[in-house]
C-alpha cells in the first residue's frame, strides 16, 4: 500500500452532510459553586473545530487529498467560523449560508482532560435550504473521484437517493455514513459505514460476527450495496462484500475520547479509495487511524507522515481481477521489489502443456499475470465454434493454478494495450516468436523490462484434443 499512500495527494473528495461547529471550553476546577452543587470551571482556553461532515473533510484533507465540503450553516458568526477553519485546513467550501437559521454548535466544557458537560444548539433547516445544498453538491460533482455522504440526521442531507444516483451516474465511488433506521435511502452506494448500534437498529441483534455477516450480506443483495463496513468500537470492524468478508481487530491502545472516530474512518477510507486503494486495504488504514484518534482529545485528525508509519501487512488479493484493481495491487507489489511476469493467450482447453508453460513462466519472477482473450476475441482468432469454454470458465481454471497470481481479460485481438497499461518486468510468450514481434514488447522494452520466449511442452495441443474428441464422437 505504500505506493497508494503517496497518491493520496491526487485524490479528489466531495463531502456532503450536516456541518457543525465543535467548541471546547477547557480550564481548571478547584471548587464547587455556592449557587448549586456543581463544579466551577475557570476557562483558560477555547478550541473551535469543524464537526460532523466537516470532521470527515478535515480528516481527508489532513492526509493531503483535495476536499470540497458541502453543507448548510447559518449566516452568522458561527457559520463564518466554520468557513474560516475549513479554509485554514485547505478545504474548499461549498457552504450554503442561510439567513434565519442558526449554525449547529456543540459546546463541551472540559476540565483535567475530562468532558464535564455538553450543550447543543441546533435547529432543523427548512426544505428549501436542503434544495440549495443539493444544488451546491451537483455543482461540484464533476470535480471529484469519491463522494462521502455524512448524514448526522440534522436535515441538511435531503433526498439522499437523488444524491447517490447523480454521483453513480458519473461513475463516482459513494460512501455513506448512515443515520436512522431507513437504510433503504442509501440504496446503490459502494460502501455503507454504520456502527454496530446503528446496524442492529435496522437488522436486529447480531449475537456473533457470523450473524452480522449473514445479515449484512442480505442487506447487500436487498439494497444493491457493494460493501458494508460495520464499526464495533473496541471490538474492531467487519467488512462484508458480496463474496468475501474481513474481520479487523481494534487497534486502540488507550481510549481517551471517542469523539469523531467514525468521521476519521470515513475520511481515511475516502482518501485511500480516491488514491486507488481497494476497500479492504483502505479499511486496514482506517482502523489504524481510528485506533490513534480515540487516544487524543476531541475530534482529532492524523497527518500523512503518521499514516506512512503504519505497518500494514501486504495481503495482496489474488485470482480474477478487473484492470483497475490489478493496477492498484501491482503498485504495492512493485514497491516491495517484486518482479512481475506477464503472459497471454486464449487458454480455451487448459492441458498439461499449459500448466508446464505457466510454471516455467512463473520461475522468471515473483508474480505471474495471465491475460486471457475474451469470447469474441477467441472467435475472431479461432473461428465461430470457439471458444469451447467461455471466458469465466477459462479464467477460473487458470486462477486455480499454483503458478498463477492474477488473471485479467482483454477484448482486443492482441493484449498490446493491456500490456502498455501494466508494463510487466518480464513479458513471456510461448512458441517460435522473435521477441521484438510479440505484441506489447516495444512498451515493455522501452520501460526497461525484457521479453522472453519459452518453448511449448511437446505433445500437448488444444487442437489435437478437439480433433481426438471429434474422432471419438
Cβ proximity of 281 and 4 under 8 Å: yes
User: Does the domain made of 320-472 have the CATH classification 3.40.50.300?
Assistant: no
**pLDDT, tens digit, for every residue of 375-414?**
999 999 888 888 889 999 999 999 999 899 999 999 999 9
Residue-level pLDDT at 256: 44
Quick one: pLDDT band at residue 253, thresholds 50, 70, 90?
low
- Which strands form 367-373's sheet, in the order they lie side by side? 319-320, 406-410, 367-373, 340-345, 426-430, 450-454
**pLDDT, tens digit, for every residue of 264-281?**
999 999 999 999 888 888
**pLDDT, tens digit, for every residue of 165-178?**
999 999 999 999 99
Quick one: pLDDT band at residue 68, thresholds 50, 70, 90?
very high
* Cα gap 284→281, rounded to integer Å: 5
List, in order, residues 6 or more apart from 351 with CB less than 8 Å away. Answer: 460, 461, 462, 465
Residue 257: active-site member: no
CA angle 214, 216, 221 (to 5 degrees): 95
**pLDDT, tens digit, for every residue of 353-384?**
889 899 999 999 999 999 999 999 999 988 88
Residue-level pLDDT at 130: 77
Find the mean pLDDT for residues 145-157. 90
**Per the omega criterion (within 30 degrees of 0), is the bond before 387 cis?**
yes
Same fold, 2-19+50-97+124-315 and 320-472: no
Find the mean pLDDT for residues 36-63. 93
Mean of all residue pLDDT scores within the chain: 87
Residue-level pLDDT at 311: 60
* Cα gap 228→231, rounded to integer Å: 10
**pLDDT, tens digit, for every residue of 204-214?**
999 999 999 99
Residue-level pLDDT at 127: 57
**pLDDT, tens digit, for every residue of 303-327?**
778 877 776 655 456 788 888 878 8
Residue environment code for 82-103, b if the CB has 16+ CB neighbours within 10 A, otherwise e: bbebbeebebbbbbbbbeebeb
From the list 263, 331, 332, 405, the catalytic residue is 263
pLDDT score of 234 more than 70: yes
**pLDDT, tens digit, for every residue of 9-24?**
899 999 999 999 999 9
Residue-level pLDDT at 352: 84
Residue-level pLDDT at 473: 40
Give the position of cell 482486443.
Answer: 412
**pLDDT, tens digit, for every residue of 108-145?**
999 988 889 999 998 776 656 778 899 999 999 999 99
Other residues' Cβ atoms within 10 Å of the Cβ of residue 108: 19
Q: Where are the domains of the chain?
A: 2-19+50-97+124-315, 320-472
Q: Are strands 426-430 and 340-345 parallel, antiparallel or unpaired?
A: parallel
pTM over 0.85: no
Residue-level pLDDT at 103: 93
**pLDDT, tens digit, for every residue of 283-295?**
988 888 888 877 6
Residue-level pLDDT at 254: 53
Residue-level pLDDT at 82: 97
User: Does the domain made of 2-19+50-97+124-315 have the CATH classification 3.40.1190.20?
Assistant: yes
Q: Looking at per-residue confidence, does 160 or 155 come out higher? A: 160
Residue-level pLDDT at 274: 93
As to burial, measured by CB atoms within 10 angstroms (0-12 exposed, 13-18 middle, 19+ buried), residue 313 is exposed
Find the mean pLDDT for residues 340-364. 91
**pLDDT, tens digit, for every residue of 419-472?**
999 999 999 998 767 888 899 999 999 999 999 998 765 555 555 555 555 544
Q: Looking at per-residue confidence, does 188 or 326 come out higher? A: 188
Residue-level pLDDT at 257: 47
Task: Give percent of the chain with pLDDT exceeding 70.
Answer: 89
Three-state DSSP at 455 gives coil
Quick one: pLDDT band at residue 258, thresholds 50, 70, 90?
low
Amino acid at each position: 500500500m505504500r505506493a497508494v499512500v503517496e497518491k493520496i495527494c491526487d485524490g479528489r473528495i466531495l463531502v456532503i452532510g450536516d456541518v457543525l461547529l465543535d467548541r471546547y471550553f477547557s480550564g481548571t476546577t478547584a471548587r464547587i459553586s455556592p449557587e448549586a452543587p456543581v463544579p466551577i470551571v475557570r476557562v483558560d482556553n477555547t478550541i473551535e473545530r469543524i464537526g460532523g461532515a466537516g470532521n470527515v473533510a478535515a480528516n481527508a484533507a489532513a492526509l493531503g487529498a483535495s476536499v470540497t465540503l458541502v453543507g448548510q450553516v447559518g449566516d452568522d458568526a458561527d457559520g463564518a467560523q466554520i468557513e474560516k477553519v475549513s479554509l485554514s485546513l485547505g478545504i474548499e467550501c461549498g457552504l450554503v449560508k442561510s439567513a434565519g437559521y442558526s449554525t449547529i454548535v456543540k459546546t463541551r466544557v472540559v476540565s483535567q482532560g475530562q468532558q464535564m458537560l455538553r450543550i447543543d444548539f441546533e435547529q432543523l433547516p427548512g426544505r428549501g435550504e436542503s434544495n440549495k445544498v443539493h444544488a451546491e453538491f451537483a455543482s461540484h460533482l464533476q470535480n471529484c473521484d469519491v463522494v462521502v455522504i455524512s448524514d448526522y440526521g440534522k436535515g441538511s442531507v435531503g433526498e439522499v437517493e437523488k444524491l447517490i444516483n447523480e454521483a453513480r451516474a458519473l461513475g463516482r465511488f459513494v460512501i455513506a455514513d448512515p443515520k436512522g433506521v431507513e437504510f433503504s435511502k442509501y440504496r446503490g452506494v459502494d460502501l455503507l459505514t454504520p456502527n454496530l448500534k446503528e446496524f442492529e437498529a435496522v437488522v436486529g441483534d447480531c449475537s456473533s460476527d457470523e450473524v452480522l455477516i449473514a445479515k449484512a450480506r442480505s442487506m447487500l443483495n436487498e439494497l444493491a450495496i457493494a460493501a458494508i463496513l460495520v464499526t464495533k468500537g473496541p471490538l474492531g470492524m467487519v467488512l462484508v462484500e458480496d463474496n468475501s468478508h474481513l474481520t479487523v481487530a481494534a487497534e486502540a491502545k488507550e481510549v481517551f475520547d471517542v469523539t469523531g472516530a467514525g468521521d476519521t474512518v470515513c475520511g481515511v477510507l475516502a482518501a485511500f479509495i480516491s488514491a486507488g486503494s481497494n476497500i479492504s486495504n483502505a479499511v486496514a488504514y482506517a482502523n489504524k487511524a481510528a485506533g490513534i484518534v480515540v487516544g487524543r482529545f476531541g475530534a482529532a485528525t492524523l497527518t500523512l507522515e503518521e499514516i506512512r508509519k503504519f505497518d500494514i501487512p501486504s495481503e495482496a488479493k489474488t485470482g480474477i481481477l478487473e484492470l483497475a484493481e490489478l493496477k492498484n495491487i501491482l503498485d504495492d507489489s512493485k514497491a516491495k521489489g517484486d518482479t512481475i511476469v506477464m503472459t497471454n493467450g486464449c487458454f480455451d482447453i487448459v492441458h498439461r502443456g499449459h500448466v508446464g508453460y505457466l510454471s516455467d513462466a512463473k520461475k522468471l519472477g515473483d508474480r505471474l499475470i495471465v491475460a486471457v482473450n475474451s469470447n469474441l476475441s477467441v472467435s475472431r482468432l479461432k473461428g465461430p465454434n470457439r471458444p469451447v469454454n467461455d471466458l469465466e470458465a477459462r479464467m477460473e481454471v487458470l486462477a486455480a493454478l499454483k503458478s498463477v497470481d492474477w488473471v485479467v481479460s482483454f477484448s482486443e485481438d492482441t493484449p498490446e494495450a493491456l500490456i502498455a497499461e501494466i508494463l510487466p518486468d518480464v513479458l513471456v510468450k510461448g512458441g517460435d516468436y522473435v521477441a521484438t514481434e510479440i505484441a506489447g514488447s516495444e512498451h515493455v522494452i522501452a520501460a526497461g523490462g525484457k521479453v522472453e520466449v519459452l518453448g511449448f511442452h511437446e505433445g500437448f495441443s488444444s487442437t489435437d484434443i478437439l480433433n481426438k474428441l471429434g474422432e471419438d464422437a
